[in-house]
Amino acid sequence: MKFLLQPAVLLYTAFSLIGAELKVAILSDIHVSPGNPNEQRLQQAIAEINESDVDQVIVTGDLSNRGATAELTRVKELLDQLNKPYRALPGNHETNWSDSGALAFAELFRSERFAFERNGVLLIGFSTGPYLKMGDGHVRAEDIAFLKDTLAERAADQKPVIVFCHYPLADELSNGVEVAEVLAPYHVLGLVCGHTHVQFRRNIYGIDNIVCRPLTSNDGKTFGYNFIVYDNGKLEAWEKRLGDPVEKDFNVRPPLKKPEIVFGGNLPVDVRVETIWEESASIYTGAAVHGTELFYGTSNGMLVRLLTTKLQNPAVRPVRTLELGTPFYSTPVYADDTVIIGSLQRKILGIDPGTLKIRWELPANAPVTNTGIFADGSVFMGLGSGSFARLEPHSGKIVWQTDGGYGTFQGAPATDGKIVVFGAWDTRLYALDAVNGKQLWKWSSGSTQVLFSPGNVVPAIAAGQVLFVAPDRYMTALDAATGKQVWRTNRFKVRESFGRSADGKTVYAKTMDGLLIAVETGKPEFTLRWQCDLKFGYEHAPCPVLEANGVVYAGSRSGVIAAVDAATGALLWTYKVGTTSVNSFTAAPSGDVYATLLEGKIVRISRQ
């Protein structure tokens, strides 16, 4: 106990010398898993904070390593040992990887956002995502509305405001400019965040960003947290290393001005790219297409049916919605006059496409964030985690169900009629008999790192092989009959963006440095057909690659669509349609291709 109390004395002495109107302790990027070193370091930080004279504690995200409910439960137990009031916000490690469909955080910590007054200052915080897939941070439309409404109601009299979130406004927050514009009319003292694991201060888009240190530094040599102190109209930031006195040690970086965003691009004369609809919420799903209708889900719990017929006034495009209460991450599947979608309410739903009334419900083992596929008259789909099933789409009747103890599902499976293949967030890829559901084989790279799992990748079956990519940056080919490895390479920095050609002779992968590669299937070793520079730069969006009518489509993390000639690998065109990740592409029988964007846009690509 002496070791814990001594730094607390130093802390109290240092802050007793600072007469301030508001003192807040900031914990950021604590990355606790039960039993890991940060668990003990967090306990030490809590002991120090409890002996201080701070008014409030704010946790600005990345409380855990993979958003697991067990991790968050343990962090909540520890934070509840604080004798100061505290509020917590999620970071990308809570919203990106999650066995609860990102629901556990709000259930444990009451909400993903807050607004309250402390010592005459309004403190307001919100989530920055990303949700259930790799990508840049993005403040959802509903959270932007919360921010606007709260500021208008509670800060219009120029009350001092401190804003809290996980990401700084620049670089990896796709709509940071929009957030800055919302904040600009108010008396915002600063935006306090983390994420970068590097401590600094910077004026970004006119807003003072105080970027806080992680509990454990990148080099593993220092451990600590931060304080912000509001006094006499100024907001100061301090560093507190565990066991040491408080120090004011913030590197100030040059200001960053708002970037100029240029939409559009040079298209061939016979190609048209247009935004046909914009939602008032975010979209994390792809779309199912049937005739002239699209079906997709939104972040505010709506299943949407959108008419795609070319109208003179797209602003009045007819839509029908079904409100189901929780966000959608499962892409709808249209099968046998039924729209099938997974729900975070631990069920799979079969919905009448005309009325949008629920036709049947199938209980699932966990919140369903994964997508199914329609093949051979059936839908193949994981039940959230643990079990996988083959369903009759119109009735929801289970043809077979295999309880394999699988990890959380996310990406869609693949089937050739004989086998069905899928990955899970348990480091493994599985193959089942498509007729009876019997497990044929399972594969693992040997790594125990769960975040390297092929969990959000759609595999390909072609030429007697199963091919896939994963976050460990390897592309792998397995023998489809036995699951034995044929070849495996990290020659290119692939991640989760993958697709198969229509004829099965080629698979495509987008790399983390913005290349698109085409690889031959059925070969005994990695065989590159071509590579194309998409001009994306650094890239990590898991948008699947689509080949349609001899053109390969790839989407970026910043709203750019690229089209590549499937035969030659020549870049045909690029076109910027938004500022956020392209979720996926869907080919319609008409020849049109549709894309959904995280920011809520529906885009159509057509040929004249």
What's the whole-number mean pLDDT along residues 155-172? 96
For residue range 241-300, what is the model confidence (pLDDT) as tens digits? Answer: 999 999 887 899 999 999 998 999 999 999 999 999 999 999 999 999 999 999 999 999
Do residues 295 and 304 lie in contact, with contact meaning Cβ atoms separated by under 8 Å? yes
What's the whole-number mean pLDDT along residues 403-422? 96
Count other C-beta atoms under 10 Å from residue 83's C-beta. 10
Taking all residues of the chain, what is their mean pLDDT, rounded to a whole number?
Answer: 94
For residue range 96-117, what is the model confidence (pLDDT) as tens digits? Answer: 989 899 999 999 999 999 999 9
For residue range 308-362, what is the model confidence (pLDDT) as tens digits? Answer: 886 656 666 678 899 999 999 999 999 999 999 999 999 999 999 999 999 999 9
Which stretches within 428-486 are classed as H helix? none
pLDDT at 311: 63
What's the whole-number mean pLDDT along residues 564-568? 98
Domains of the chain: 2-249 (3.60.21.10), 271-607 (2.130.10.10)
Residues in the chain: 608
Do residues 457 and 496 lie in contact, with contact meaning Cβ atoms separated by under 8 Å? yes
Which stretches within 429-497 are classed as H helix? none
Would the pTM count as exceeding 0.85?
yes
pLDDT band at 608 (very low <50, low <70, confident <90, very high): confident
225-239 burial by CB neighbour count: b if 16+ within 10 A, else e?
Answer: bbbbbbeeeebbbbb
pLDDT at 596: 98
